[in-house]
Structure 1
Amino acid sequence: MDGDSVPPAIERFIEYLRIKTVQPEPDYAGCREYLRRQAAELGLGFQAHEYVAGKPVVVLTWAGMEPEAGSVVLNSHTDVVPVFPEFWSHPPFEAARVAVAGSGGDYRIIARGAQDMKIVGHCYLEAIRALRARGERVRRTVHAVFVPDEEIGGADGMARFVESREFAGLNAAFALDEGIASPGDGLRVFYGERAPCWARFVAHGQTGHGSQFIADTAAEKLVPVIDRLMALRREQLADFRTPNADGSAKTLGDVTTVNLTMLQSGVQHNVVPESASACFDIRMTPTSDYRAFRRWLEALAAEHGAQLELVQFWDDNTVTPTDASNPFWVAFEAAVAAQGIAIEREIFPAATDSRYLRRAGVPALGVTPLRNTPILLHDHNEYVLQSDVLNGIAFYERVLAAVANVPGP
């Protein structure tokens, strides 16, 4: 690290990034102890719940002046995706702080998890630190929640937590979670997300010598299924390329994407295979009827004599209101506008833990306070600027003070 003075908030961020919470063997124990120390420094309540051994859900609590009022949940996940170290300019868990030439003193902090999403969880805590240092108090209790396993679906993390008595005890009324960096000047805010549908079609048929016209083969059953799903892909791509009625461009969240991701069949060129399978990664826009889509997939498989396995399927398309009916949205929008930032409302193109919160009845917004920044989540040389971190802390100071003081139950 360079010999200049490093802001304490950046030192703590680097310490957090250096904890190797990388799948498939994340250091959750080290992360829990780091968060325990942060809670002690900040004077926050600390709890760690394990619904699956070795996978703690950590909750840091700032008690509000009116504990009976619904609380605010600041959610983030602690795990990060695997790396290919040979493609990184610096070791991905060193959290190197590298001066940016011509920036007037800014630095890149290069580390896995810098964007996805340790910056968000860190900024939550630093915003609380700043507010408490000024002697500010909040009406609603605030819970900073750090969950495991989001990067592998959240089944052992948020999915179990929202079903627990501990979650019910939070009395959550509103939540913030992760978003995506914006390459432009606007702030991307996600009020819903597309649902994952991972579908595997398997067909079985007659086998034999490849020189014959063998009837009822696996391929004959599977190909029409593939054709119909690829036709749906073309239809949705055409819709994606068609502007909205107001002339604005559609985002990925506005359509359903279909991608053929795996094909498996055959043992040898001259042997007709007994079985064939095709896997699709489908992300369904919440404006569609998920259950009706599932029935369509089932009918498609049955029509052609194939079997359908839904490896993953999400059937709830709840979205968070972004109008005057939602007082938390009103407070959030005003706090962002007061900072001179324009909001770009979107449907999240992939899946986050927000879907579990929304299904549990907690309105949630996904936001990562990174603007004019390349999207580097899951990429080599993932980084954020030091100024991004400091600006993110200031962003959450304003937002947290607003949403945690919303009147009402």
Structure 2
Amino acid sequence: MAAWENNEEIKLFQEYLRIPSTHPDVDYEPCVEFLKRQAQNLGLPIRIYHPTDPKKPTVIITWTGTQPELPSIVLNSHMDVVPVYPEKWTHPPFGAEIDSKGRIFARGTQDMKSVGMQYLAAIRALKKEGKRFKRTIHIMFAADEEIGGKSGMAKFVPTDDFKALNVGFALDEGIASPNETFDVFYAERSIWFILFHISGNAGHGSLLHENTVGVKLRYIIDRMMDFREAEVKKLANNSSLNLGNVTTVNLTRVQGGILNNIVPPKLMVSFDVRLALDVDHQQFIKQLEKWCEEAGGGIEITYESKEPYVPPTPIDDSNIYWKAFKGSLDSLGLKSRTLIFPGATDSRYIRAAGIPAIGFSPMNNTPVLLHDNDEYIDADIYLKGIEIYKTIIPNIANA
């Protein structure tokens, strides 16, 4: 019999996966009720906060330390998952079925219901062993991470309730690794959604008007794509870099116009830009404004997202939590590498508050399937992750 067969932790994981907490319009109440039962099972107190909206809960299960005056540890995960296309799946996306190879198929197996349940499983095992640790541990389950966390972590961190947690360090999600090396994330790029509102001379489509929106649009697109190409080459020519080390630029929308034979007076083009840590934000803004002038003027820039620079978490001996975390992996003989996260997680809001945070999902030898069809995790990998957290959690809680 395989280790995962009739395993109680696997069964609890499956139960959580079967809650379809998917966007849009997530109903978090089934998740909250499930987590209440887990807290009761663990004999730990649970609190539910609503920083902005009664339908957007932040759930925290707390294990008080022997020295609760010390800064606490947060083990963060999010309850929400991205939408699914059921017809593209070979297993029901919320069925949590296990195939003959021991693969658990469900939305959230990688991103990131697995991590939240691994935290609880590790703590359950540690409590059964009678362990206690110096620092208080808060197991946090956040809302709306998949749509930017604007109604979740972004609103919770500034509150007095969060400040009362006295957080010293946080663990959050990472990404699966297709090989034996675990990826560990210590920073994130700044997300900017840049909109160029272009004005120009309008008129009949049969004429050659000067300073049209089309001419200006072409100039802006060319400059943005030239910048993009330079970043592509930078990444291709330096094997020490990964996606998180460069700035990504992608055209996402072009809007405007009424009829085929009318040159419109306005067009809008938007770009998804993720600024690398070495980009000076003010200099980048000046560059954008210079391109608008060179295009002929009459262009207004607005931002649907304009996140500030957030310093990376130190990954050296100056950070006692990092030493404890990395020492845990080393003691287990696990290979790891440190990276800048290519996307975005709730960690950026925690780091922005001056709290060190590390992104880590204990999934190696696993294809990266977050947001993909047929998302799955091997049951054996899931159980190994619990064992990894059984080493990490005590070490950081005693740092």
Kept in 2, the 8 Å contact 1:19–1:27? The answer is no
Shift of 1:5: 4.2
> For 2:12, what is the secondary structure of its paired residue?
helix
Q: Distance in 1 between matches of 2:232 and 2:23?
A: 33
Shift of 1:119: 0.5
Which residue is 1:281 aligned to? 272
Which residue is 1:250 aligned to? 241
Q: Distance in 2 between matches of 1:236 and 1:67?
A: 47
Residues 1:182 and 2:182 aligned together: no
Q: 1:363 aligns with which of 356, 364, 369?
A: 356
User: Unmatched 5+ residue regions in structure 2?
Assistant: none
Map 1:343-362 → 2, pairs under 5 A: 343-362=336-355
Which residue is 1:31 aligned to? 31
Q: Distance in 1 between matches of 2:320 and 2:131?
A: 21
Which residue is 1:167 aligned to? 162
Which residue is 1:338 aligned to? 331
Identical pairs, percent: 45
Shift of 1:322: 0.4
Shift of 1:27: 2.2
Map 1:220-259 → 2, pairs under 5 A: 220-243=215-238, 248-259=239-250
Which residue is 2:305 aligned to? 312
Which residue is 1:126 aligned to? 121
1:285-332 Cα distance to aligned partner (Å, 9 max, x none):
112223432343344335532111111111122100000000111111
Q: Taking structure 1 as the reference length, what is the TM-score of the superposition?
A: 0.94
Kept in 1, the 8 Å contact 2:27–2:55? The answer is no
Which residue is 1:65 aligned to? 66
Q: 2:188 aligns with which of 181, 185, 193?
A: 193
Q: Distance in 2 between matches of 1:289 and 1:329?
A: 27
Shift of 1:239: 0.8
> For 1:182, what is the secondary structure of its paired residue?
coil
1:227-254 Cα distance to aligned partner (Å, 9 max, x none):
11111101111111122xxxx4310011
Map 1:77-156 → 2, pairs under 5 A: 77-100=78-101, 107-156=102-151
Kept in 2, the 8 Å contact 1:195–1:350? The answer is no
Say what the alpha-carbon RMSD is for the aligned residues: 1.4
Kept in 2, the 8 Å contact 1:61–1:143? The answer is yes
* Aligned-partner residue type, residue 191 of structure 1: Y
Q: Distance in 1 between matches of 2:44 and 2:193?
A: 40
Paired residue total: 394
Q: Distance in 1 between matches of 2:362 and 2:373?
A: 21
Which residue is 1:391 aligned to? 384
Q: Distance in 1 between matches of 2:374 and 2:252?
A: 26
